[in-house]
Amino acid sequence: MSRVSDEPATGVLDDVELYLGIYRRMLLIRGFEDLVQSLFLKGEVYGTTHLYSGQEAVATGVASLLEERDRVAATYRGHGHALALGVDPQKLLDEMLARETGINGGRAGSMNVNSLADRLIGSFGIVGGSIAAATGAALALQRTTGGVAVAYFGDGAMNQGYFFECLNFAQVLKLPLLLVCENNQYGEYTPFRSVTAGEIRARAEVMEVPAETIDGMSVWAVREAAARAVAHARGGNGPAFIEALTYRFVGHSRSDPGAYRPEGELERWKQRDPIVLLRAQLEAEGVDGARLDELEQAVARELEEMRERGLAAPFPSELAAREFKD
Ligand SMILES: Cc1ncc(C[n+]2csc(CCOP(=O)(O)OP(=O)(O)O)c2C)c(N)n1
Ligand SMILES: [Mg+2]
């Protein structure tokens, strides 16, 4: 089991330089989401958005284990999944703004981003859809490059038929599939406990699929679990399952203020903000705080430049701009 504590100890991070890169990526995701939200409130973002703030450790931790030949299926909460894979943040922002320079030419918007060059086979608006897409990809990869397919999905997808059918299929055929359930405690405005029977992990275990429940706020816990899971899948042993316990720091989508949350819950989770935890851990491992401050400032500058470039980028056409505005 990985160490989970608010009091950092040294020797926890296996590669400090690698974690500095992860730290930068997590800052980028958080800042990107803050930027998208502010642009959304100004009416600049077309369609809807679902932000990844608070869940950054999951996508960055898993992505740190992936190779060129691997493939990923994300959800509609997928900006973080995309950025963790290395999708160009400017192109992703331009996509939100429905510009021609967007990663999908401004036609996909926030929920449907894909970038095959970055291994992202799609972002799926249908709850559980990512599981089916990744299972298909795993079947193809098993027959070709030997890569692993990863599906991200929420706790809400655990009650979807997709999950049971795909996991059974993948286990029978020993497909190289990694299923990552991001249990952020809610499906829209519903606490997952009130609609989900039993332990989530047990649903994989019943099919004899190795399954772990981990601290999804600790990126090193995610990375350690993902290393085991990826090794299992890559080794021809079939699928592996991770339940990452996490929390979204914002509403479900758009301007949801999250009023259904019990008082103090958000604040409690924020004390275990994955970015704050990693920063404390990096400092405990001897990284100079000033170096981390510089990283933060560099990311903030990068985002400000992106905002200006994005807002100045051309729309696909006048007609398309009107069609996409909701
Ligand atoms: C098949 C299907 N049913 C219902 C919806 C409506 N819907 C959109 S998001 C959502 C909640 C899903 O919650 P979860 O899987 O926990 O993901 P999270 O939003 O928390 O990341 C629902 C029910 C949908 N998109 N697809
Ligand atoms: Mg959820």
Domain boundaries, the chain: 16-324
> Could you give the C-alpha distances from 287 to 26, 31, 61, 291, in angstroms and in order?
17, 22, 19, 7
The residue whose C-alpha atom lies closest to atom 3 belonging to ligand 1 is 127
- With bands split at pLDDT 50, 70 and 90, how would you rate the model's confidence at 255? confident
Inform me whether the pLDDT recorded for 297 exceeds 80: yes
Q: How far, in Å, is the centroid of ligand 2 from the Cα of 248? A: 8
CA-only gyration radius of the chain, Å: 19
Q: How far, in Å, is the centroid of ligand 2 from the Cα of 3? A: 25
The residue whose C-alpha atom lies closest to atom 11 belonging to ligand 1 is 187
Q: Which of 102, 23, 34, 1 has the alpha carbon at shortest distance from 289?
A: 23
- With bands split at pLDDT 50, 70 and 90, how would you rate the model's confidence at 2? very low
Inform me whether the pLDDT recorded for 261 exceeds 50: yes
Beta carbons of 66 and 72 less than 8 angstroms apart: yes
* % of the chain surpassing 70 pLDDT: 95
Inform me whether the pLDDT recorded for 206 exceeds 80: yes
Torsion angle of alpha carbons 294, 297, 302, 305, nearest 10°? -140
What is the longest distance spanned by two Cα atoms in the chain?
A: 57
Phi, psi of 116 (to 5 degrees): -60, -35
Q: How far, in Å, is the centroid of ligand 2 from the Cα of 132? A: 18
In this predicted structure, what is the pLDDT of residue 231? 98
- Residue by residue, what is the 3-state secondary structure of 195-239? CCCCCCCHHHHCCCCCEEEEECCCHHHHHHHHHHHHHHHHCCCCC
Q: Are strands 186-187 and 190-191 parallel, antiparallel or unpaired?
A: antiparallel
Give 158-179 pLDDT, tens digit per residue.
Answer: 999 999 999 999 999 999 999 9
Inform me whether the pLDDT recorded for 319 exceeds 70: no
Q: Is 186 in a helix, a strand, or coil?
A: strand
The residue whose C-alpha atom lies closest to atom 6 belonging to ligand 1 is 127
Q: How far, in Å, is the centroid of ligand 1 from the Cα of 291? A: 39
- With bands split at pLDDT 50, 70 and 90, how would you rate the model's confidence at 155? very high
CATH code linked to domain 16-324: 3.40.50.970
Inform me whether the pLDDT recorded for 146 exceeds 50: yes
Residue of 111, 127, 155, 159 to mutate, ligand 1, most atoms within 8 A of C-beta: 127
Average pLDDT over residues 204-212: 98
Tokens 């990826």, residue?
Answer: 230
Q: How far, in Å, is the centroid of ligand 2 from the Cα of 207? A: 23
The residue whose C-alpha atom lies closest to atom 8 belonging to ligand 1 is 127
Residue of 50, 152, 188, 247 to mutate, ligand 1, most atoms within 8 A of C-beta: 188
Inform me whether the pLDDT recorded for 235 exceeds 60: yes
